[in-house]
Amino acid sequence: MTRRIRTAVFISGRGSNMQSLVHAAKAKDYPADIVLVISNRPEATGLEFARANGITAIAVDHKLYGKDRAAFEGELHKILLEHKIELVCLAGFMRLMTADFVNRWAGRMLNIHPALLPAYKGLHTHERALADGVAQHGCTVHFVVPEMDEGPVILQRAVPVLPDDTPETLSARVLEQEHIAYPAALAQVAKSRL
Ligand code: GRF
């Protein structure tokens, strides 16, 4: 069996992007192997999906660490080392990381954001895009740097904004593209590390 890059996915909720990565990694020639899923919310439905697919799934409840972000991240880092993780994919992971943690994983941590960065950093991207009346919206996979939703872009996919769009219809159209973009971006990064 050819070597594949050991990859962890961080989630906070439904984990549909994580699921798209797991599905893509089932192909024999996919250059990354999803070996670990971590959620900061123990109730995240994505954890069950991961376990059902034979992937180690661990909850690290950020609430147990109070304001001590370094301790929370220390636990994440320890688990990543234990599992010999080489790449981390943030997929709907709703915690901001300290510069310390991000820098430890510089060039080895990816994120997906539901907008065409640098447009619409932060939350509620679909609502804001609709309010501005833009013609195009989309998603971005990028390397994570200490500044939120910045960092080198790996891949973007655009969708049209239609006249009768609501935040829900627009977000569904973007999500479809996220599920194509993330597996493609991870493949690109993993291949370059083999
Ligand atoms: C996605 O829209 C992603 O771009 C954003 O949060 C959402 C997570 O969805 N960061 P899911 O948990 O992957 O289904």
pLDDT digits (tens, 9 = 90+) for 70-113: 999 999 999 999 999 999 999 999 999 999 999 999 999 999 99
Q: Which of 34, 49, 124, 175 should be mutated for ligand 1, with most atoms under 8 A from CB?
A: 175
What atom of ligand 1 comes closest to residue 13's alpha carbon? 12
Identify the band that residue 164 occupies on the pLDDT scale cut at 50, 70 and 90: very high
What atom of ligand 1 comes closest to residue 14's alpha carbon? 12
Average pLDDT over residues 51-60: 98
Average pLDDT over residues 122-133: 98
Mean pLDDT, all residues of the chain: 97
Identify the band that residue 2 occupies on the pLDDT scale cut at 50, 70 and 90: confident
Ligand 1 cavity residues, CB under 6 Å: 11, 13-17, 91-92, 112-114, 175, 178
Residue 171 predicted with pLDDT over 90:
yes
Helix (H, G, I), strand (E, B) or coil at 179: helix
> What is the predicted pLDDT for the residue at 66?
94
Q: How far is the CA of 194 from the centre of ligand 1 (A)?
A: 27
β-strand partners of 58: 38
Q: Where are the domains of the chain?
A: 5-193
What atom of ligand 1 comes closest to residue 20's alpha carbon? 13
Residue 159 predicted with pLDDT over 90:
yes
Known catalytic residues are: 113
pLDDT digits (tens, 9 = 90+) for 20-40: 999 999 999 999 999 999 999
> What is the predicted pLDDT for the residue at 68?
95
Q: How far is the CA of 111 from the centre of ligand 1 (A)?
A: 10
Q: Of all protein residues, whose CA lies closest to atom 1 belonging to ligand 1?
A: 92
Q: How far is the CA of 171 from the centre of ligand 1 (A)?
A: 10
What are the C-alpha distances in Å from 96 to residues 12, 69, 74, 92, 100? Answer: 12, 9, 14, 11, 12
What atom of ligand 1 comes closest to residue 19's alpha carbon? 13
What are the C-alpha distances in Å from 123 to residues 49, 80, 119, 130, 135? Answer: 26, 27, 12, 14, 19
Q: Of all protein residues, whose CA lies closest to atom 9 belonging to ligand 1?
A: 92
> What is the predicted pLDDT for the residue at 1?
63
Residue 149 predicted with pLDDT over 80:
yes
CA distance 55 to 50: 5
Architecture of domain 5-193: 3-Layer(aba) Sandwich (3.40)
Residue 138 and residue 120 in contact, taking contact as beta carbons nearer than 8 Å: no
Q: Which of 128, 144, 178 should be mutated for ligand 1, with most atoms under 8 A from CB?
A: 178
Tell me the backbone φ, ψ of residue 108, rounded to 5 degrees. Answer: -125, 10
Q: How far is the CA of 133 from the centre of ligand 1 (A)?
A: 22
